Amino acid sequence: MPNIMVSLPQQPESNFSRAVFKVIRPHIPRERWPVDAVLARFEGGGDGLWLNADFDSFSGPYAAVARQLVREAGVDLVLKSPLASAAAAVVRTKRWRDVGLYAFLPLMFAIPLMAVLSDTAMRFAVFFFCLDTASLIAFQAILVRKRALLATERFIAYIPAPGLKIHLGGKSDRSSSIDLMPEV
């Protein structure tokens, strides 16, 4: 059974929901927004550098625009999402894999060059080449596993609609007037 991330939905008051709102609000006319918060499902992109989104509350073309805007927002939204740690793990592993990849060709070409110098130098070059190849294979396998885990993680967020009053304070005083709550 795959490891699926289960988290509570991001409420309209959350930093992530407000960040998504700031990204998509200028591009979707106010009359196309629903009265209540917009339900959206998110999942991480393959490299961990963007989010894939699905907006059910918008009509077809506006959902496509919102989906594209979330994808273009990239790392800014990923860092505020619940997937930030999984995405960071993918990026870190990819960087280590790239280190092995960048060392692969120079080490491969160093073998015949070191053979000219001495037999011992060539053996060291072959040893480092084999070590780099093994690390490259290991980091690629780890990267594939972490990308698969990122692809299985999904979460839901309620994006505030324009004019929706949300509670940003830390206290929950029910006796306060609704006019004191900030409007998005």
pLDDT digits (tens, 9 = 90+) for 75-133: 888 888 888 888 999 999 999 999 999 988 888 888 888 888 899 999 999 999 999 99
Sheet with 154-159, side-by-side order of all strands:
51-55, 38-44, 154-159
Q: What CA–CA distance (Å, rounded) separates 184 from 166? A: 7
Tokens 């409007």, residue located = 183
Dihedral sign, Cα of residue 156, residue 160, residue 165, residue 170 = positive
pLDDT digits (tens, 9 = 90+) for 7-55: 678 888 888 888 999 999 889 888 888 888 888 999 888 788 889 999 8
CB atoms within 10 A of CB 82: 18
- Token pair in block for residue 141: 């396998």
